């Protein structure tokens, strides 16, 4: 009987110690999860931009220009060719208001939206590693623009396709989190397009300076 009581007491004591150990383990501070480091120049990204646009339109016998606000969104994909060389594809779409008024023929060339589909090639400079330094890049590809030619007695419009070339600089502003800031310049060329049943040819180029941000989407 005494032995049975001693065994019961020993089992109860062992159970109490086990529960105490579990409680202590639960109460102990947990180690923080390791920080996920995101390469801002690898993978899919989204972002936005704002800036200015300067348009120059040429019609037979005259040339005139104007400027306006340019803002929109962008998305793309980057990957490293080498640790210091980055290649990517990017598409952007934005709204702008360029009212280019002719003082001769009393008409307005109005641009209200445009977009680009370009390839980028960049080189990382500065401190080694993708979490610091700068990306210097060039870009080239297709440009799109919706334009109206407006006279007092009528108007015509078209979506014009041209080509774009430019470059910029990009850097991380929140280390390891996949955020970047950029500044870039682009020139868009639009060959002659005819409005009003081919009776009114217009040639256009647009200079754009933009600042923006991107955030790399982590898929792993």
Q: What is the CATH number of the domain that holds 212?
A: 2.40.160.20
Is there a single domain that holds both residue 47 and residue 4? no
Q: How far apart are CA 144 and CA 189, in angstroms?
A: 10
Contact 159, 214 (CB under 8 A): no
The reported pLDDT for the residue numbered 184 is 97
CA nearest 160: which of 102, 101, 106, 98?
98
Is there a single domain that holds both residue 26 and residue 48? no
Is there a single domain that holds both residue 113 and residue 156? yes
Task: Kindly report the pTM of this predicted structure.
Answer: 0.77
Contact 63, 57 (CB under 8 A): yes
Residue 24 resides in a domain: yes
Residue 208 resides in a domain: yes
pLDDT at 183 over 60: yes
Contact 138, 166 (CB under 8 A): yes
pLDDT at 150 over 70: yes
Q: What percent of the chain has pLDDT over 70?
A: 77
Section 166-185 average pLDDT: 89
Is there a single domain that holds both residue 173 and residue 104? yes
Which token pair is 46? 């989204």
Most confidently modeled range among 29-33, 47-51, 95-99, 101-105: 47-51
Is there a single domain that holds both residue 105 and residue 56? yes
Section 6-33 average pLDDT: 51
Residue 37 resides in a domain: no
H or E stretch covering 189: strand 179-195
How many domains does the chain divide into?
A: 2
Most confidently modeled range among 5-19, 64-78, 120-134: 64-78
Q: How far apart are CA 121 and CA 119, in angstroms?
A: 7
Residue 35 resides in a domain: no
Is there a single domain that holds both residue 47 and residue 147? yes
Is there a single domain that holds both residue 12 and residue 63? no
Is there a single domain that holds both residue 2 and residue 110? no
Q: How far apart are CA 2 and CA 125, in angstroms?
A: 81
Is there a single domain that holds both residue 105 and residue 136? yes
> Which pLDDT tens digit goes with each residue over 38-57?
788 899 999 999 999 999 88
The reported pLDDT for the residue numbered 148 is 87
Is there a single domain that holds both residue 159 and residue 91? yes
Residue 73 resides in a domain: yes
Is there a single domain that holds both residue 91 and residue 23? no
Q: How far apart are CA 63 and CA 207, in angstroms?
A: 15
Residue 36 resides in a domain: no
Summary mean pLDDT of the chain: 82
Is there a single domain that holds both residue 145 and residue 190? yes
Instruction: Give the structural domain span for 9.
Output: 1-30
pLDDT at 130 over 70: no
| SS3 (DSSP) at 36 | coil
Section 124-145 average pLDDT: 82
Section 18-39 average pLDDT: 55
């Amino acid at each position: 009987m005494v032995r049975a009581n001693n065994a019961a007491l020993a089992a109860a004591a062992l159970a109490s110690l086990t529960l105490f150990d579990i409680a202590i383990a639960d109460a102990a501070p947990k180690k923080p999860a390791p920080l996920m480091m995101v390469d801002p120049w690898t993978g899919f990204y989204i972002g936005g931009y704002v800036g200015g646009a300067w348009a120059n339109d040429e019609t037979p016998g005259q040339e005139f220009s104007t400027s306006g606000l340019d803002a929109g969104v962008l998305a793309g994909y980057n990957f490293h060719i080498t640790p210091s060389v980055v290649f990517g594809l990017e598409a952007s779409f934005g709204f702008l208001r360029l009212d280019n008024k002719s003082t001769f023929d009393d008409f307005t060339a109005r641009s209200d939206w445009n977009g680009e589909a370009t390839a980028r090639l960049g080189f990382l400079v500065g401190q080694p590693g993708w979490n610091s330094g700068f990306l210097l890049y060039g870009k080239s590809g297709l440009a799109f623009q919706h334009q109206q030619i407006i006279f007092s007695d009528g108007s015509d419009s078209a979506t014009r396709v041209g080509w774009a070339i430019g470059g910029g600089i990009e850097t991380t502003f929140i280390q390891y989190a996949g955020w970047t800031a950029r500044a870039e310049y682009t020139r868009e060329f639009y060959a002659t397009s005819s409005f009003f049943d081919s009776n009114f040819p217009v040639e256009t180029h647009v200079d754009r300076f933009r600042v923006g941000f991107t955030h790399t989407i982590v898929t792993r």
